[in-house]
């Protein structure tokens, strides 16, 4: 264990083995730090935060701080949880919940780049990448494998599905289904074909989810007719997840790009959309 003498560590904190803590960092009461974590200089890990093994926190990160919420009352015990092997870069801010016994969660093997903000009660999955200056509001859910570019703004309570890709400078006010790509015009422009390949899905399953996305967003059908058309196609776990996600939305779904309209006789197996 390598702890700089200027670091302020509460005697009530639990620090694992082989943990490095840099100059002027603060570890508050009721914090648990797993083994093999790296904590750079001027990092604050606030009370009621649990960090899994192998995580890295870079200069100026603020994790588990009280939320920016008028409803928060001093003395409320709520939590922040960080999974294992997750990287929190410079000046990231993560806030705990304003509600008793509720939690803000960041999963494992996730990368939050510099200046990302994670609001209270947000839940970020595993293997998620969030680029610089993206602001994740309270109660947002981001599922496993999603990739968010920089300067993205996400409204409260939005959901971003697994293996989706979000373009830079977008403003997200409704849900993004799994496996979809949101372009910089704030519209769904097609499937995340690169993400699907990198996830190791076989070609026939990639083709099935691409067809479902095209039918729903680019055939000019309403939801009921689109679901009926999708039901005629091959059903895979990805297609089922796509349909169930949309049917379970409470905020609605981000629009498809009106400039990308596909007819029934378009080739379904191309990788270019």
**20-29, 160-169, 264-273: least confidently modelled range:** 264-273
| 2.160.10.10, 2.40.50.140, 2.40.440.10, 1.10.287.70: CATH of 2-139 | 2.160.10.10
pLDDT (0 to 100) of residue 85: 98
Q: 117-141: per-residue pLDDT in tens?
A: 999 999 999 999 999 999 999 999 9
Q: 16-30: per-residue pLDDT in tens?
A: 999 999 999 999 999
pLDDT (0 to 100) of residue 259: 87
Q: Which of the residues 95, 107, 121, 145 is marked catalytic? A: 121
* Bridge partner residues of 103 (DSSP): 79
Q: Are 45 and 39 in contact (CB under 8 A)?
A: yes
Q: Which of the residues 42, 95, 117, 120 is marked catalytic? A: 120
256 pLDDT above the threshold of 50: yes
pLDDT-derived band at 262, boundaries 50, 70, 90? low
Q: Rounded to whole angstroms, how far apart are CA atoms 147 and 168? A: 10
Q: Which of the residues 34, 64, 138, 195 is marked catalytic? A: 138
pTM here is 0.95
pLDDT-derived band at 268, boundaries 50, 70, 90? very low
Say which residue the tokens 């803000």 belong to: 104
Q: Which residues of 85-101 are buried (b: 16+ CB within 10 A; e: fewer)?
A: bbbbbbbbbbbbbbbee
Which string of DSSP letters, residue by residue, matches 86-131?
Answer: -EE-TT-EEE--SSTT-EEEE-SS-EE-TT-EE-TT-EE-TT-EE-
- Exposed (0-12), middle (13-18) or buried (19+): which is 250, by Cβ within 10 Å? exposed
pLDDT (0 to 100) of residue 269: 47
Q: Rounded to whole angstroms, how far apart are CA atoms 179 and 237? A: 12
Residues in the chain: 273
Q: 193-207: per-residue pLDDT in tens?
A: 999 999 999 999 999
pLDDT (0 to 100) of residue 80: 98
pLDDT-derived band at 261, boundaries 50, 70, 90? low
Mean pLDDT of 155-179: 98
Q: Are 79 and 50 in contact (CB under 8 A)?
A: yes
Q: 74-114: per-residue pLDDT in tens?
A: 999 999 999 999 999 999 999 999 999 999 999 999 999 99
Q: Catalytic: 120?
A: yes
Q: Catalytic: 125?
A: no
Q: Catalytic: 121?
A: yes
């Amino acid at each position: 264990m390598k702890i700089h003498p200027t670091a302020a560590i509460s005697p009530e904190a639990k620090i694992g083995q082989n943990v490095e803590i840099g100059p002027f960092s603060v570890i508050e009461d009721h914090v648990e730090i797993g083994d093999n974590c790296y904590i750079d200089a001027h990092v604050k890990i606030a009370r009621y935060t649990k960090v899994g093994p192998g995580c890295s926190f870079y200069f100026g990160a603020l994790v588990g701080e009280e939320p920016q919420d008028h409803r928060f009352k001093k003395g409320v015990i709520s939590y922040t949880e960080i999974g294992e092997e997750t990287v929190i870069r410079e000046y990231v801010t993560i806030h705990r919940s304003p509600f008793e016994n509720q939690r803000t969660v960041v999963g494992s093997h996730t990368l939050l780049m510099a200046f990302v903000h994670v609001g209270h009660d947000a839940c970020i999955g595993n293997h998620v990448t969030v680029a610089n200056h993206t602001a994740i509001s309270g109660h947002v859910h981001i599922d496993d494998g999603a990739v968010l570019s920089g300067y993205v703004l996400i409204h409260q309570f939005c959901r971003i599905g697994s293996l989706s890709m979000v373009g830079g400078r977008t403003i997200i006010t409704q849900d993004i289904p799994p496996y979809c790509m949101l372009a910089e015009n704030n519209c769904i422009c097609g499937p995340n074909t690169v993400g699907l390949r990198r996830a190791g899905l076989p070609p026939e399953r990639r083709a099935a989810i691409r067809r479902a996305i095209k039918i729903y967003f680019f055939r000019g059908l309403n939801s009921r007719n689109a679901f009926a058309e999708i039901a005629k196609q091959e059903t895979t776990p990805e297609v089922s997840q796509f349909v169930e996600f949309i049917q379970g939305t409470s905020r609605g779904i981000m629009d498809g790009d009106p400039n990308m309209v596909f007819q029934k006789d378009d080739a379904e197996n191309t990788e270019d959309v």
